[in-house]
Amino acid sequence: MRLAIAITLFVVFTAYSLLVAAQHGPLGFLAVPAAGGWSLQVTLDLFFALTAFLTLAAADARKHGIALWPYIPATLILGSVGMLAYFVHRELRASRAPVTNL
């Protein structure tokens, strides 16, 4: 179930991001923080959230045997798309892991 949610979020958000980039250009987001107010606040919030993700994902990736290095530039360049890609990878790996009964 978690894998289906991760894949759905990744596909829908990536498609929406591509649509916005096609309509406003790939660097159209640079005008957002310049507007100030809520636009700047949301941009800063995204920056802090993605930084927190990368910080926490480092330990999580080690724990699950996932190479984090591809997701660092993906997250820095693509934002939440990179983060969602990591979650899809993590859930795919978990779905393939052998089940052990303790």
| pLDDT tier at 32, thresholds 50, 70, 90 | confident
Range of the domain at 43: 2-96
Average pLDDT over every residue of 21-33: 87
Residue 85 has pLDDT above 70, yes or no: yes
Look at residue 102 and tell me if it is in a domain.
no
Q: What is the average pLDDT score of the chain?
A: 91
Residue 90 burial class via C-beta count within 10 angstroms: exposed 0-12, middle 13-18, buried 19 and up: buried
**Identity of the highest mean pLDDT range in 24-28, 31-35, 78-82:** 78-82
| Domain count across the chain | 1
User: What's the pLDDT at 101?
Assistant: 61
How many helices (H) does the chain have, and how many strands (E)? 5, 0
Percent of the chain having pLDDT more than 70? 96
Residue 10 within a domain: yes
For residue 99, is pLDDT > 80?
Answer: no
